[in-house]
């Protein structure tokens, strides 16, 4: 097998699964672990894989999952409006799972001082509650995605298997009338397990996400319970939401909630 053919096969395996252990790659491709390690180093330098202790994680072309600070200033007022609606739906004493994202971070800020149980894979969210006495905090472990501070992958998924929450509040990269999308295969696998943990699955997405797909499909739109968006929707976006069977809550600048019309 030629070197480039072998590396392409390795890349295909990791991109499909999100994460693959070094021993599994060597066995599947039928080469030595030292050869696989050199190939991972090469693909890591090219920016399409992230080498980890004992394996590799797919990161695409480096443009997926942009850094948290790169997204923090975009649609900030809309995200705060969405966060107010999401936080108001959480009762004291409830358990809530927050995935990593700028909108879920705004939800977390509104829960500071509340008697709730927080489960998260986000280091920035966990830091908000790490020294607070009112809330119980569970931080999910796993591979920490570079520049985002979010735990992803098979270790995170395994930890989630023993978790149950009242609500899972997730952020997404795109929403169409058929499906929800995100920007990273490994993130999608983790979020699917988050959905299995919750009595109610809530997605928070500002209007720029409505009507556009992203790299990886998370689930059909019907698989979630509630979608919270801001009011700055175009007529086409409102018509798209009208066609769905999902409960859609539209947050406006006054803190009130409407529905598509």
3-state secondary structure of 139: strand
Domain coordinates of the chain in residue numbers? 3-58, 68-258
Name 192's Cβ contacts closer than 8 Å, sequence gap at least 6: 218, 219
Residue 62 has a pLDDT of 43
133 pLDDT more than 70? yes
Q: What confidence category does residue 252 fall into, taking pLDDT thresholds of 50, 70 and 90?
A: confident
Task: Tell me the per-residue pLDDT of 201-217, one tens digit each, with 9 for 90 and over.
Answer: 999 999 999 999 887 89
Residue 259 has a pLDDT of 63
Fold classification of 3-58 is Arc Repressor Mutant, subunit A (1.10.10)
pLDDT higher at 17 or 238: 238
Which segment of 129-133, 194-198, 233-237 scores lowest on mean pLDDT?
A: 129-133
228 pLDDT more than 90? yes
Which helix (H) or strand (E) segment is 25 a member of?
Answer: helix 22-29
Task: Tell me the per-residue pLDDT of 111-131, one tens digit each, with 9 for 90 and over.
Answer: 999 999 999 999 999 999 988
How far, CA to CA in Å, does 249 sit from each of 63, 109, 134, 173, 221?
30, 20, 28, 18, 15
Task: Tell me the per-residue pLDDT of 18-72, one tens digit each, with 9 for 90 and over.
Answer: 778 889 999 999 999 999 999 998 888 777 787 887 888 876 544 454 545 545 4
Q: What confidence category does residue 15 fall into, taking pLDDT thresholds of 50, 70 and 90?
A: confident
Residue 44 has a pLDDT of 83
Q: What confidence category does residue 184 fall into, taking pLDDT thresholds of 50, 70 and 90?
A: confident
Its pTM stands at 0.74
Residue 256 has a pLDDT of 59
d(CA 116, CA 133): 10
Residue 121 has a pLDDT of 96
3-state secondary structure of 37: helix
Q: Which CATH number fits domain 68-258: 3.40.50.970, 3.40.50.1360, 3.40.640.10, 3.40.250.10?
A: 3.40.50.1360
The fraction of the chain above a pLDDT of 70, given in percent, is 89
162 pLDDT more than 80? yes
């Amino acid at each position: 097998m030629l070197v480039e053919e072998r590396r392409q096969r390795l890349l295909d395996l990791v991109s499909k699964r999100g994460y693959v252990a070094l021993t599994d790659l060597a066995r599947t491709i039928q080469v030595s672990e030292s050869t696989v390690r050199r190939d991972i180093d090469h693909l890591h330098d090219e920016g399409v894989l992230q080498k980890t202790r004992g394996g590799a994680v797919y990161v695409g072309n480096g443009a997926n999952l942009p850094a948290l600070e790169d997204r923090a200033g975009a649609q900030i007022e809309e995200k705060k409006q969405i966060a107010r609606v999401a936080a108001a739906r959480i009762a004291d004493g409830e358990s809530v799972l927050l995935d990593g994202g700028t909108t879920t971070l705004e939800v977390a800020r509104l829960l500071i001082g509340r008697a709730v149980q927080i489960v998260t894979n986000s280091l920035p969210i966990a830091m908000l509650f790490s020294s607070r006495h009112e809330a119980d905090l569970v931080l999910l472990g796993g591979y920490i995605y570079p520049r985002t501070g979010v735990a992803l992958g098979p270790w995170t998924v395994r930890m989630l298997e023993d978790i149950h929450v009242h609500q899972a509040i997730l952020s997404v990269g795109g929403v169409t009338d058929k499906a929800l999308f995100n920007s990273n295969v490994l993130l999608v696998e983790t979020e699917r397990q988050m959905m299995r943990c919750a009595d109610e699955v809530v997605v928070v997405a500002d209007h720029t996400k409505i009507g556009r797909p992203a790299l990886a499909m998370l689930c059909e739109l019907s698989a979630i319970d509630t979608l919270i968006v801001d009011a700055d929707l175009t007529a086409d976006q409102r018509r798209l939401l009208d066609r769905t069977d999902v409960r859609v809550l539209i947050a406006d600048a006054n803190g009130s909630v409407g529905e598509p019309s």
